Amino acid sequence: MTTLPEPAPRPAADAANTGLVRSVLRSPRGAIVVAFLVVLILACALAPLIAPYDPLAQHLSAVRSGPSGRYWLGTDSLGRDLLSRLLHGGRSSLLGVLEAVVTLLIVAVPTGLLAGYLGGTFDRIAMRVAEVVMSVPVIIILLAVLSIFEHSMTSAMIAFGVLGSSGLMRVIRGSALAAREELYVTAAELMGLSRLQVVVRHVLPRCRGAIIIQASLFAAVTLGVQTGLTFLSLGPPPPAATWGGMVADAASVFNQDAWMLVPPGVTIALTVLAFGLLGDVVRDVSAEKYAAAPAARRKRRSGTPDTAGRPEPATDMLLSVRDLSVATDGGRPLRLLDAVGFDIAAGETVGLVGESGSGKTMTARAVIGLLPGNCRITSGQVVFDGSPVQDLDQRAFRKLRGRRIAMISQEPMAALDPSFRIGSLVAEVVRAVDGIKGKAVHARVIELLRMVEIPDPEAVARRFPHQISGGMAQRVAIAMAIAGRPELLIADEPTTALDVTVQAEILDLLRSLQQQNNMAILLVTHDWGVVADVCTKVVVMYAGQVVETAPTGEVFDRPAHPYTRALLLSSPENTHVGERIQAIPGSVPTPQRWPAGCRFASRCDLAQPGCTEGAIPVKDISEGRLSRCLRVDTLLGGEARR
């Protein structure tokens, strides 16, 4: 039997489109709102077919009767059936909303897109016009339109759409402006797509969420305005059924019969609410969309954290971390650090090395008490200068931070508030940590800037952050960090964002500051060259665990963990020119996928069956050397024989 070839799956082009609609429908609020609007629109559209009576037919025998089997929603003062009037009136109301929204989109979307994408003269003119339109009084224009085109709701609604479009236009222009900077838009231009194609395919989809949100909110407002106008009988003249007109009728007899107000009032309120809610739902859904799909969660293993080489914190060290585990909060905690342990002696520089996702920054932040809000320490000890700090509250930590432990980060500019001068930024820190006032502060600021080898510190103190280079900004950040004469400086990738020449100067600076002040440094880095340059000891992390600890002098020649060795080999620097780089196959497992056995096993060339059976203990190899590998003897033995 022959099988037909499967039809090709739908090209992906509109997958994103259907995706948004589907996700709106999948959320309960979205489903209810959409269902309500669909039923309402259908009912009104089909009013001539389904309405029980002619909306104008007067049943004088049943004037102002309440809801009954014959008249489901009752009748008005002229005995007209309210349900029928509601359905027929909805036609003009909803049609008016549709007219206004379509006008809004026709005007705002193309102008916004083109203004943002083309820029230049078109943009300037469009923005100027938008400003003018925004400043005109809407009601007066509408009244003027209605006095010219008497009782023509359509012209009023089109005018309202035009007047409302400037807001949406600005939103779309902003998105398009941002999209123009995206590299994928440049890439699309390079492919030879026309401007229009680029705009429609790559810029418009980005704005789709914003457009739907704005349009549905606008629909809500329009319905309000529309009923207002019909309430004032500025729309279709009576006796035509309109929602606003029904409210007006009911209002005139409110003292005798309050019920008449209920059917039109509730319908209008619910419809306005539904439009508004639709906007909300779309906003929530599009915020979630295009974010990474949640990775499949495995069942958590219940393995107990294995104990690090020496379970007790060292008391003779400046910082001693033992068995430190960090996990996310919530019903299904996800462990991010697993029994991390290392020591830093006074005046020592320890490198914390590993690839992204290995837990370097998390470790550094746990030490200084700055874990992200959804994470906490689940077990283990952090002992600073003989006293445990892992349970300190934020207030107690604040006494330590900036004074005894300080931190600098990868993005120096982020640490500097752009609205203050360098001098006052540093002065603020000096006042906080030294408790001094007046002239002394300025002297200390200049002294600190001089300590970080800034030429002409007086002039630099008067500048704003955006007026200095990245290297200079990192020097300022270091000046702020050392203001409290810390014993431990945590430097999280301090030179990653800098040029090699500037990096070399910053590393020189850290080295000399350390020697002058006997300051210890925990240096987070992924660059082995930086390790070789400044560190005395290395702690290598992989998938939330420390896999090796070694003196710098030994790790390069005799790595005691297959991961360390593989990482060193994967650098082009350690590869002969013309040869392939010995890349590590695969990738670092995410916390959801940490295996029960050795976390490096799937990528390790020494792996053997025992490696995947259970957690791998840390082994003491020699003085100051630890390795989390079952086959470390083979690794080092083979090395020795060669």
Considering only residues 556 to 615 of the shown chain, the ones binding ligand SF4 according to CB under 6 A are 562, 598, 600-601, 604, 606-607, 611
Sign for the CA dihedral angle at 434, 436, 437, 443 comes to negative
With CB cut-offs between 5 and 8 Å by kind, which of other proteins, ligand SF4, none does residue 12 bind?
other proteins
The nearer residue to ligand SF4, 208 or 603, going by C-beta atoms, is 603
Task: Give yes or no for a cis peptide into 239 (omega within 30° of 0).
Answer: yes
In the block, residue with structure tokens 């306005």: 272
Backbone angles phi, psi at 621, to 5 degrees: -100, -50
Partner whose binding site includes residue 72, from other proteins, ligand SF4, none (CB under 5 to 8 Å by kind)? none
Strands 405-408, 619-622: pairing kind: unpaired
Report the run of H or E that residue 549 belongs to, with start and end. strand 545-551
The pairing of strands 545-551 and 375-384 is unpaired
CB closer to ligand SF4 out of 145 and 607: 607
What tokens were used for 600? 């490096």
Looking at residue 338, its amino acid is: D
If the CB atoms of residues 318 and 606 are measured against ligand SF4, the closer one turns out to be: 606
Q: Which of 131, 499, 620, 633 binds other proteins (CB under 8 A)?
A: 499
In 170-201, which positions are buried (b, 16+ CB within 10 angstroms) versus exposed (e)?
Answer: bbbbebbbebbeeeebeebeeeebeeeebbee
Please give the radius of gyration of the chain, using alpha carbons only, rounded to the nearest integer. Answer: 35
Query: For other proteins, how many residues bind (rule: CB under 8 A)?
Result: 79
Q: Which does 604 bind (CB under 5 to 8 A by kind): other proteins, ligand SF4, none?
A: ligand SF4
Does 553 contact other proteins by CB under 8 A?
A: yes
Site for other proteins in 565-584 (CB under 8 A): 565-577, 580-584
Within 464-493, the residues that bind other proteins by CB under 8 A are: 470
Residue 629 interacting entry, from other proteins, ligand SF4, none, C-beta within 5 to 8 Å by type: ligand SF4
Cα torsion 505, 507, 509, 511 to 10°: value is -150
**Which CB atom, from 77 or from 582, has the smaller least distance to other proteins?**
582
- Residue 148 binds which entry of other proteins, ligand SF4, none, with Cβ cut-offs from 5 to 8 Å by kind? none
CB of 572 to other proteins, least distance (A): 4
Smallest distance, Å, CB 456 to other proteins? 10
> 9 touches which of other proteins, ligand SF4, none (CB within 5 to 8 A by kind)?
other proteins
- Nearer to ligand SF4 (CB atom), residue 80 or residue 631: 631
Give the Cα separation of 336 and 545 in Å (integer): 9
Helix (H, G, I), strand (E, B) or coil at 539: strand
Contact 614, 595 (CB under 8 A): no
Q: Which does 601 bind (CB under 5 to 8 A by kind): ligand SF4, other proteins, none?
A: ligand SF4
Residues 498, 471 contacting (CB under 8 angstroms): yes
Contact indicator for 168, 108 with CB cutoff of 8 Å? yes
Q: Shortest Cβ distance from residue 312 to ligand SF4 (Å)?
A: 25
Cβ nearer to other proteins, comparing 17 with 252: 17
**Residue number, 85 or 628, with CB nearest to ligand SF4:** 628
The type of residue at 305 is P
Helices (H) and strands (E) in the chain, counts: 23, 12
> In angstroms, what is the minimal distance from the CB of 314 to other proteins?
24
The site map against other proteins for 264-293 (x = CB under 8 A) is: --------------------------xxxx
Question: Which helix (H) or strand (E) covers residue 490, if one does?
Answer: strand 488-492
Is position 296 an interface residue for other proteins (rule: CB under 8 A)?
Answer: no
**390, 398, 402: which is closest to 483 by C-alpha?**
402
Q: How far is the CB of 598 from other proteins (least distance, A)?
A: 16
Exposed, middle or buried, 102 (CB in 10 Å: 0-12/13-18/19+)? middle
Q: Which does 532 bind (CB under 5 to 8 A by kind): ligand SF4, other proteins, none?
A: other proteins
Smallest distance, other proteins to C-beta of residue 470, A: 8
- Contact of residue 11 among other proteins, ligand SF4, none (CB under 5-8 Å per partner type): other proteins
Residue 550 as a binder of ligand SF4 (CB under 6 A): the answer is no
Binding pattern to other proteins, positions 242-261, x when CB under 8 A? --------------------
Q: What is the DSSP secondary structure assignment for residue 201, as one 8-state letter? A: I
User: In the window 183-242, what residues touch other proteins (CB under 8 A)?
Assistant: 183-184, 186-195, 201-202, 205-206
- At its nearest, how many Å lie between other proteins and the CB of residue 523? 12
CA angle 56, 61, 62 (to 5 degrees): 70
The footprint of ligand SF4 on this chain (CB under 6 A) covers a number of residues equal to 12
- SS3 label, residue 134: helix
Stretch that binds other proteins, among 4-12, 315-323, 361-369, 376-384 (CB under 8 A): 4-12
Which residue in the set 283, 310, 421, 526 belongs to the binding site for other proteins (CB under 8 A)?
526
Complete edge-to-edge strand list for the sheet that includes strand 387-388: 335-344, 319-328, 375-384, 387-388
Distances (CA, A) of 565 to 191, 603, 610: 42, 12, 20
Residues facing residue 489 across a β-bridge:
406, 521
Residue closer to ligand SF4 (CB basis): 594 or 600? 600
- Binding residues for ligand SF4, rule: CB under 6 A, are 562, 598, 600-601, 604, 606-607, 611, 616, 629-631
